[in-house]
Amino acid sequence: MFARKTWSNWSGGVTCRPGQFVVPSTVDALSDLVRETATANGKLRVVGAGHSFTPVVATEHTLVSLARISGIAEIDREAGAATVLAGTTIRDLGGLLGKHGLALENQGDIDSQAIAGAVSTGTHGTGIAFGSISTQVRALTLVLATGELLSCSPTQEPEIFKAAQVSLGSLGVLARVRLQCVPSYVLRDVRKNVDLNQCLADFEDSCRRHRHFEFWWFPYSDRAATKALDIVASPRPRSAVKRVLADKMLETGLFWAASEAVRLFPGLSRPVARFASRAISEADYADHSHRVFPSPRDVRFNEMEYAVPVERGPDCLRELKAYIERDRVRVHFPIEYRVVAGDDIWLSPFYRRDSAVISVHMYAGMPYADYFAGCEAIFRNHRGRPHWGKIHNLTAHELQDMYPEWHRFHAVRRRLDPRGVFMNDHLAKIFGA
C-alpha cells in the first residue's frame, strides 16, 4: 500500500488522486482486499498499463494494480489453451506462450496492456476473419464484491460469462483468463505507401488476400501507409540497424520533434502531416507473430475510436478527410483504419456486425476536444459505436440504443455488485447508474 499520490494514464490526459494505491501479490490477497473494501462501504477500481484514454479507472478511493499477479497459471496442451493471470501484459504473454509453442491468434498494435484491461475494454487488432481479443476468451475467474471467486464460461454461468467478456471491470476484478491459443507462427510484415483513393478502392480485396490488413492516412495528403501481415514458413527479421533507424530515429525521434514543433506552432500541422506521409518507411520482414503485431508507440497522444458497419467505412473516412480539410483542423497525427469481425458479446462494439474501425489521434498536450467532437458527429452519422477505452462524449442515454443486450448486461451487473463497489464517476455516466 502506498501513500496518496497523483496517478495519470499513459497519455497524461487522465489524472486522479486515489485514497490508496495497492499492489497485491496473489489472488488471495486481492480477494481479501476486495472483501475489506466492500465491508467498509468503499469503492475500488483496477489499473493495468493505464492505456485507456477515458477515466475508466480514475478514482478517489482504492486503486489496485495487478502488476504482481502475472504469468501463466496453466497450459492445457490438449486444448491449446492457456490460463493467464490477469496482470500479465500482452508483451510478456507473447514470449511466455512461445516457450510452450503457442501464440495468440491475433492481437493489437499496442502490447503494453494487461490482459485484464485488454479483455475488459474489447481491445482488438485487424483482420476481417478475426474478432477482438475478448473472442479468444474461453473462461474467466472474477473476484466478486464479496471477495469470493466466481468462474464462468460458455457452460458455467454463461450469462455472467457473456457479460464479463467486455465489462469495463464493473462486475468484479478479473483474476484469471483462459485464452484459446494457436500453434506458434511467423508473420511476414509488408509495409507500402500507396495512393489513398486506390487503397480504398482495393481495400475489400486486400482484406481477402491478406490475413491482416490496415492502413494509416496522414491529414492533408493523398497517401496511405499500408500494413499487410501473412503467415510464412520462417523468420527473416530486420537487422538491428534497420529496426533502430525506422522505429527509434524516424518514427519516434523525428516524429516526436516534429510533434513538439506543431504543439508550439500549431500552424505547422499541415506541412508536418504532409512531410510525415512521405517520410514513413516501407518494410518487408518476417518474425514470430508477437514481435510483428505491435508497433512502437513512444510518441504520446490522445485517441478517439469508433467501429462503424464495415460497408460504411470508406464513406466515413472520406467524410473525415473532407471535414479536416474544409475546417483546416490543426492535426498532424494519422487516422488509422482497420477491420474487425463481428461477435456475440453483449457490450462489444462489434456486436452482431463486421466493422471498420477508425481511430483519430491528437498529440498529447495539444487541444483535441473540438477535433474529436467533429469526428464523433461523423462517426455517429455512420452508426458508429465507441471503443470503451478511448475518448468519446456519449452517456447511457445514447449508448443504450446501440446495444441490444444493454439491459441484460446491467441486470447481471446489479446482481453481482448491488452496492456499486466497482463503480466510479465515469461508469456512472456511461452506464446511467
Q: What one-character-per-residue DSSP string does 231-258 give? A: EESS-BPPPHHHHIIIIIIIIIIIHHHH
Is 80 exceeded by the pLDDT of residue 242?
no
Residue 333 contacts residue 362 (beta carbons within 8 Å):
yes
What DSSP designation does 16 have? E
Percent of the chain with pLDDT over 90: 92
Sheet holding 44-47, edge to edge: 20-22, 62-65, 44-47
Instruction: Tell me how far apart the alpha carbons of residues 312 and 320 are, in angstroms, rounded to a whole number.
Output: 12
Instruction: Tell me how far apart the alpha carbons of residues 115 and 399 are, in angstroms, rounded to a whole number.
Output: 25
The 10s digit of each residue's pLDDT in 386-414 is 999 999 999 999 999 999 999 999 999 99
Instruction: Tell me how far apart the alpha carbons of residues 215 and 208 are, in angstroms, rounded to a whole number.
Output: 15
Q: 206 to each of 187, 213, 338, 405, how far by Cα in Å?
A: 16, 7, 12, 33
Residue with cell 499496442: 110
Residue with cell 495497492: 22
Which of the four pLDDT bands, split at 50, 70 and 90, describes residue 252?
confident
Question: pLDDT averaged over the chain?
Answer: 96
- pLDDT on residue 248: 63
Residue 116 contacts residue 66 (beta carbons within 8 Å):
yes
Length of the chain: 433
Instruction: Tell me how far apart the alpha carbons of residues 249 and 237 are, in angstroms, rounded to a whole number.
Output: 18
CA torsion sign for 265, 224, 190, 80 is positive
- pLDDT on residue 253: 80
Mean pLDDT score, 48-55: 95
Instruction: Tell me how far apart the alpha carbons of residues 114 and 118 are, in angstroms, rounded to a whole number.
Output: 6
Is 90 exceeded by the pLDDT of residue 71?
yes
Mean pLDDT score, 252-273: 94
Mean pLDDT score, 364-369: 98
- pLDDT on residue 243: 67
Which of the four pLDDT bands, split at 50, 70 and 90, describes residue 121?
very high
Residues 6+ away with beta carbon under 8 Å from 404: 351, 352
Q: How many C-beta atoms lie closer than 10 Å to residue 276's C-beta?
A: 25
Residue 377 contacts residue 193 (beta carbons within 8 Å):
no
Task: Note the helical H segments in 293-387.
Answer: 313-327, 369-381
Distance from first CA to last CA of the chain, Å, rounded?
A: 29
Percent of the chain with pLDDT over 70: 96
Q: Are strands 223-232 and 301-309 parallel, antiparallel or unpaired?
A: unpaired
Instruction: Tell me how far apart the alpha carbons of residues 88 and 92 are, in angstroms, rounded to a whole number.
Output: 7
Range of weakest confidence among 8-12, 235-239, 326-330 = 235-239
Q: Are strands 62-65 and 20-22 parallel, antiparallel or unpaired?
A: parallel
- pLDDT on residue 244: 61
CA dihedral 16, 21, 23, 27 (to 10 degrees): -90
Instruction: Tell me how far apart the alpha carbons of residues 94 and 108 are, in angstroms, rounded to a whole number.
Output: 12
The 10s digit of each residue's pLDDT in 330-341 is 999 999 999 999
Q: 341 to each of 125, 135, 354, how far by Cα in Å?
A: 10, 10, 4
Range of weakest confidence among 47-51, 102-106, 245-249, 377-381 = 245-249
Q: 401 to each of 100, 347, 384, 389, how far by Cα in Å?
A: 44, 12, 12, 19
Q: Please choose, from the candidates 29, 345, 290, 23, the residue with its C-alpha nearest in 3D space to the C-alpha of residue 161.
A: 345
- pLDDT on residue 161: 98
pTM metric for this prediction: 0.96
Burial class (CB in 10 A: 0-12, 13-18, 19+), 300: middle
